[in-house]
């Protein structure tokens, strides 16, 4: 292929309005960001609170993880991974990493995660040891015509699109105005998410699908919220419809796991199951929409706390652990206080115990080690507060 990334054009005229959802307030963090030297990436001050006793090991683990990610970056500027989808406890691959490497392609979603991992540790384009790494990631995700809207490569889906948008929004917020391509691609990609929202207020694996699930939908909502915070106009109606979808997904009183959230409320297997990841995602999404009323999500967050040890012990190298904790760290970070301190102490201890000597973390069932390593670095970097997504 002559083009590194395939970005499908989306037809239709965009009509975006300002998003009128409250910005996060009333959730003051109990975690002080760590001061870090922007050239070396070395922490110069440990968090005042929420710091487990092994802060030096955490800093070293992040540094080693980022070094591994930098070495794993593909020539095209992205990161290769197995593209597929979850099916029960397995991961069905439809475009494998070996093929992507052979064809000079990558995974937009995993590339978004990897880029955010560097940003979360205080690295930015244009300076420091990973300036070129970030520049190449931006080149990959911004290649092609910036007016084209759907960010997809290696047959990736709406998950990949959302995580690519999330990275572009974060990097635009941290290095505003430095690269006009980022703002242009961010606007068109965010607009595409708005247009792809379906009748029930959610999203599914591919644009314009009639069905929706909470997992895919939450990722789109978070991408839109981050785009809005980066200055992109987003329709308030889009957010209201998504919040209604979330509210409709809450399990009613009198049923098992009441107050938690269903994975799906329409189509096959609707209103039949919930999970660690689904509840963490729902809470993180409500927070991102400015909802801080514990009556609307408290039992879901309790569910995440109760099931953390089960997920961590039984699925340590599985999609469930990595994806679930990507949302859980956001939910608990925004909650702050003792709940975040307890969660972070548990997850950081597990991550430190599981990292490999070469700096990576293993994802045996899922997209692969680039994805899990990026998420591990993001989780461990959350208390720093550099990434706008983690800022209270």
Average pLDDT over residues 185-203: 96
Q: Supply φ then ψ for residue 167, to 5 degrees.
A: -60, -45
- Of the pLDDT bands very low, low, confident and very high (cuts 50, 70, 90), residue 53 is low
List beta partners, residue 243.
Answer: none
Is 300 in contact with 287 (CB distance < 8 Å)? no
Structure tokens at 131: 């300036």
User: Residue 126: exposed, middle, or buried by beta-carbon count in 10 A (0-12, 13-18, 19+)?
Assistant: exposed
Query: Is it the case that residue 261 has pLDDT exceeding 90?
Result: yes
Average pLDDT over residues 379-387: 95
Q: Would you give the DSSP letter of residue 78?
A: S
Produce one character per residue of 51-75: b if its CB has 16 or more CB atoms within 10 Å, e if not: bbeebebbbbbbbbbbbbbbebbbe
- Beta-carbon count within 10 A of 96 CB: 16
Which has the closest alpha carbon to 368: 77, 78, 170, 123?
78
User: Residue 220: exposed, middle, or buried by beta-carbon count in 10 A (0-12, 13-18, 19+)?
Assistant: buried
Give the C-alpha separation, 276 to 189, whole Å.
29
Structure tokens at 317: 């190298």
- Of the pLDDT bands very low, low, confident and very high (cuts 50, 70, 90), residue 177 is low
Give the C-alpha separation, 279 to 277, whole Å.
6
- Of the pLDDT bands very low, low, confident and very high (cuts 50, 70, 90), residue 39 is very low
Q: Supply φ then ψ for residue 124, to 5 degrees.
A: -135, 160
Model-level pTM? 0.87
- Of the pLDDT bands very low, low, confident and very high (cuts 50, 70, 90), residue 145 is confident
Average pLDDT over residues 275-302: 92
**What domains can be seen in the chain, in order of their start residue?**
7-24+46-390 (1.50.10.20)
Give the C-alpha separation, 324 to 274, whole Å.
12
Query: Is it the case that residue 138 has pLDDT exceeding 90?
Result: yes
Is 171 in contact with 32 (CB distance < 8 Å)? no
Is 93 in contact with 83 (CB distance < 8 Å)? yes
Lowest pLDDT segment from 23-37, 123-137, 224-238, 307-321: 23-37
CA 301-307-311 angle, 5° bins: 125
Q: Supply φ then ψ for residue 149, to 5 degrees.
A: -110, -35
Lowest pLDDT segment from 25-29, 218-222, 285-289, 295-299: 25-29
**Which residues, at least 6 apart from 303, have a Cβ–Cβ distance to it below 8 Å?**
257, 260, 274, 276, 279
Give the C-alpha separation, 262 to 250, whole Å.
6
User: Residue 92: exposed, middle, or buried by beta-carbon count in 10 A (0-12, 13-18, 19+)?
Assistant: exposed
Q: Give pLDDT, residue 290.
A: 83
Query: Is it the case that residue 30 has pLDDT exceeding 50?
Result: no
User: Chain centroid to CA 188: how far?
Assistant: 19
Please report which residue ranges of the chain form alpha helices under DSSP H. Answer: 55-72, 97-103, 108-120, 131-141, 158-174, 180-196, 214-229, 236-248, 276-288, 298-314, 319-335, 337-354, 369-381
Helix (H) or strand (E) holding 151: strand 150-151
């Amino acid at each position: 292929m002559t083009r590194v990334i395939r970005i499908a054009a989306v037809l239709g005229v965009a009509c975006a309005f300002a998003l009128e959802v409250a910005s996060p307030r009333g959730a003051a963090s109990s975690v002080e960001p760590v001061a870090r030297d922007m050239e070396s990436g070395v922490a110069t001050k440990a968090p005042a609170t929420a710091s487990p006793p092994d802060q030096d090991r955490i800093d070293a683990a992040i540094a080693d993880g980022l070094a591994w990610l930098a070495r794993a970056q593909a020539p095209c500027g992205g990161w290769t991974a197995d593209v597929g989808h979850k099916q029960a406890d397995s991961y069905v691959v439809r475009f494998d990493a070996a093929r992507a490497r052979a064809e000079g392609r990558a995974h937009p979603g995993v590339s978004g995660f990897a880029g955010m991992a560097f940003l979360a540790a205080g690295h930015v384009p244009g300076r420091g040891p990973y300036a070129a790494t970030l520049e190449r990631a931006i080149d990959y995700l911004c290649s092609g015509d910036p007016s084209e809207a759907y960010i997809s490569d290696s047959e990736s889906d709406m998950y990949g699109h959302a995580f690519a948008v999330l990275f572009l929004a974060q990097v635009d917020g941290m290095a505003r105005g430095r690269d006009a391509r980022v703002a242009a691609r961010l606007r068109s990609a965010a607009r595409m998410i708005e247009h792809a929202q379906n009748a029930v207020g959610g999203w599914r694996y591919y644009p314009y699908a009639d069905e929706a699930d909470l997992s895919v939908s939450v990722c789109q909502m978070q991408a839109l919220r981050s785009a809005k915070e980066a200055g992109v106009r987003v329709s308030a109606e889009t957010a209201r419809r998504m919040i209604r979808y979330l509210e409709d997904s809450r399990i009613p009183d009198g049923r098992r796991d009441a107050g938690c959230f269903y994975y799906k409320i329409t189509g096959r297997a609707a209103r039949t199951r919930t999970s660690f990841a689904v509840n963490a995602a729902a809470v993180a999404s409500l927070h991102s929409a400015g909802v801080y009323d514990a009556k609307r999500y408290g039992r879901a967050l309790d569910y995440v706390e109760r099931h953390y040890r089960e997920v961590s012990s039984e699925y340590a190298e599985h999609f469930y652990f990595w994806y679930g904790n990507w949302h859980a760290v956001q939910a608990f970070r925004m909650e702050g206080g003792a709940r975040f301190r307890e969660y972070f102490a548990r997850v950081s201890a597990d991550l430190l115990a599981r990292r490999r000597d070469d700096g990576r973390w293993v994802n045996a069932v899922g997209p692969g080690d680039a994805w899990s390593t990026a998420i591990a670095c993001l989780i461990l970097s959350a208390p720093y507060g550099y990434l706008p997504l983690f800022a209270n």
